[in-house]
Homo-oligomer: A and B are copies of this chain.
Amino acid sequence: MKLISLVAVAAISTISFGATLLEEAKNAGLKPIPQNKTELKKLIDDPKNPMTDVKIELGKKLYFDPRLSKSSLISCNTCHNLATGGVDGVSAAIGHKWAANPHHLNSPTVYNSVLNAVQFWDGRSPHLEDQAQGPMQAEPEMAAPKDLVVSRITSIPAYVEEFKKAYGKDVKIDFEKIATTIGVYERTLITPSRFDDYMNGKDGALTKVEKEGLKTFIDKGCATCHDGIAIGGTMQPFQIANKYKFASTGDFKGDANGMVKAPTLRNIEETAPYFHNGQFWSLQDAIKEMGSVQLGIVISDKEAASIETFLKSLTGTKPQVIYPMLPASTSTTPKPDAL
């Protein structure tokens, strides 16, 4: 009798531990990528410019096309490389003529970026269609004036045809339309992970140690800033408890109110180096630093390792990318300005 009730208690305890953690995660504001396709589409689509296969395919071509840069050597994919977690893997972005980002800012991942509330580290851009206009023009990035980008694309009949197919024969192929179409493609770059399966009710999707890591993540307060479906992606006060160890690298101070976008933690194991200035290469060091800088607590080595174990469950399945074959330039295509 005693044995039986012990077993019963143990069973209940196991079940309720699972249920409780899931509830805790939900209460902490953590949310999964929806499994339901209609729900997912609603989440990532822009009703003002609904995605279609034609727009997505055209957007992919533009995303990979280095002719959108002054030199014709740098594409969106150069700094946000879909092969390497959607980033370039260097501390500061490097662009036209090898210029480093003047504020020593690190390229954030393009994967799941549609889930961010705002874009750029200082959150100055409301969505991907707006964001995409920045790097194309910025001198230390792609360095291409708007009219150069438009001239390059409109000089290539195959591109003009694709824009017509995507938006109708009267489409005006301007800089904004080009950026918007890149945004449509970027919206599709969603990477569901085992964490999402867990949050969607599949208790066995996370291992015991990953669940422990999730609990530590919540208990330590990480989900205060890293929550929602993006597990981040919102503006947060920065350095509220302590000064950031490498604050001297670069002159970035956040937005006018000192707020900085908390990056998504999805695929974080693939996107070193960390923080806005890319000065931390070890994920565990980054976790401990955030404990100090943002939460004003000491996160032990053991706790950091546990949180890291959880974070790796956020590494998601990438959409398959058929590498685009781009239409050839023509005699009227403005030449590369590379040397």
Q: Who on chain B is nearest to A100 by CB?
A: B339
Given A66-B81, A83-B323, also A331-B73 (CB < 8 A): no
Closest CB in chain B relative to A193 CB, distance in Å: 14
Q: Who on chain B is nearest to A61 by CB?
A: B83
Please tell me the size bucket of the interface on A.
35 or more
A329 to B318, CA, bound (A): 17
State whether B73 touches A88 (Cβ < 8 A).
yes
Q: Mark contacts of A294-326 with chain B using CB atoms, 8 A cut-off: 1 yes-contact digit, 0 otherwise.
A: 000000000000000000000000101111111
Closest CB in chain B relative to A139 CB, distance in Å: 14
The interface centre, meaning the residue of A67, A97, A318, A336 with most chain B CB atoms within 10 A of its CB, is A336
Question: In chain A between 87 and 111, which residues have their CB closer than 8 angstroms to a CB of chain B?
Answer: 88-92, 94, 97-98, 100
Interface assignment of A269: CB less than 8 Å from any CB of chain B: yes
Interface assignment of A328: CB less than 8 Å from any CB of chain B: yes
State whether B92 touches A339 (Cβ < 8 A).
yes
Closest CB in chain B relative to A32 CB, distance in Å: 22
Q: Who on chain B is nearest to A325 by CB?
A: B318
Q: Who on chain B is nearest to A273 by CB?
A: B335
Q: Mark contacts of A194-234 with chain B using CB atoms, 8 A cut-off: 1 yes-contact digit, 0 otherwise.
A: 00000000000000000000000000000000000000000
Interface assignment of A72: CB less than 8 Å from any CB of chain B: yes
Interface assignment of A71: CB less than 8 Å from any CB of chain B: yes
Q: Who on chain B is nearest to A267 by CB?
A: B328
Which of B82, B281, B336 is A323 in contact with, Cβ under 8 Å? B82
Given A88-B73, A335-B281, also A270-B328 (CB < 8 A): yes
Chosen A-B contacts, 20 in total, with CB atoms closer than 8 Å, are: A66-B81, A66-B84, A66-B89, A71-B94, A72-B88, A82-B323, A83-B325, A83-B326, A84-B328, A89-B336, A91-B336, A91-B338, A92-B339, A94-B338, A94-B339, A272-B329, A281-B331, A321-B323, A322-B322, A323-B323
Residues of A within 8 A of B (CB): 64-67, 71-73, 78, 81-85, 88-92, 94, 97-98, 100, 269-270, 272, 281-282, 318, 320-326, 328-329, 331, 335-336, 338-339
